[in-house]
Chain A
Amino acid sequence: MKQPSLQMTDAQRSSTIAAVFCITLGVIYCIMTSLLPQAAVGMPNAPKVFPYALGFSLTGLGIGLLIQQILSIRQNSPKTEVKEKSETVTVDYHTKQILLTVANGVLYALLFKKLGYVLSTTLFLGLELFLFNGKGKWKVVLAVSVIFSLFIYILFNKLLGVYLPMMPVVGF
């Protein structure tokens, strides 16, 4: 969403993106609704009515939000300060941390059943603590992740009867 001719504040930019997202999601949702199979019992289109209403509403609300934002951007005085550069740097770092956390979570999901709870969690938590703390505190990172995984495993499996996946071969 780059509109170099218009100056947008951070809030306006994120709202505009949200509006475009809503319109897109609304339209896709409507198309997907139209592709749903018909009901074998009762009114054939009954399962589609409610989703259609939702899809149209979201598209409408998205258009409403977009108009709102366009109007407010127009009202903006040209003097509004937009601190583009400094903010991009911090946002980028922030986004990177979030993306790494998500990637770590996906890795966790992939390894969870294969490695068992204790190992996969030690790895996941260790990486996450590393992401928060950096290299310096590796002893704390290691201690916290091992103790947490073992504590939760024993608490859940032995005391609470919620069974978490065991490690292969070792059976723990």
Chain B
Amino acid sequence: MTDPIYPDVVQLAVPVFIALILAELAWIVIRGRGGRYETRDALTSLVMGAGNVASGILLGFVGWGFFMTLWAITPLDLGTSWAVVALCFVLDDLRYYWVHRFGHRIRWVWASHVNHHSSQHYNLTTALRQTWTGAFTFMIVVRAPLILLGFHPAMVLFCGGLNLIYQFWIHTEAIGRMPRWVEAVMNTPSHHRVHHGRNPRYLDANYAGVFIIWDRLFGTFVAERADDPVDYGLVRNLGTFNPLRVAFHEWLAILRDVTQPGLTLRQRLLYAVAPPGWSHDGSRETSEAIKARHRAEAGRDPGMPAE
């Protein structure tokens, strides 16, 4: 049986990405609301996006080889009907939720994902501020169950591309709230603004790609609140627009921490895989510690997710 062929939807979407960025920029400039743009910030985001495509071209064969090996050994083949594609899309979105959650809770994966959160802006260029080092996180293994279940690797990558395209439009402040049923089921600009927030309330929330139901199901959903406007960026914001520094800074920080003298082997390992902010001497703050400090300072805060 010949392998199915699906279009590279992300490449095809590039002209649409550019057109929508121009439309958002025009909207903000003409209307004077709906977000902010800054030249160097936007430029850095766009260069990160181009680098992400380049790294995919350079390293994509590793993932493809891994997937085709799995496909060769699995006895299952669900075929290529549109119902199977739809099922694959939903399950791949569940896969995305967990990879994304790992990306915030495991420093090794965060080192790759952190650059996406490194802008203090939230506009459509932020959507393109993507990692150059995703291949080094080994998160492609999370796609293995889909292929072993009988979804063809080409279909899985096609659905992953659609997922990425969906997430483009939600990186905007130009859209407030969607109709209630959309906000209940789908990831929306409002839900994803929360995800990009550095406010204690919004840390480690709303990991969804397309369907926000995963966050509701697994207890990580936090609603955007008018009384706590989202403050975008990192807990400690970068002081550089240099894409190389944006791409590699957390990997270097891991290296520095892991190789410092006087640590046990376990401590060295934890610097690489514990949640971001973990330290052997408690001198730094994890997101849990930041939330705890917020609770202590603000008293009872009903909008905070459960501890």
Q: Do A and B actually bind? A: no
What residues of chain A have their CB less than 8 Å away from a CB belonging to chain B? none
What residues of chain B have their CB less than 8 Å away from a CB belonging to chain A? none
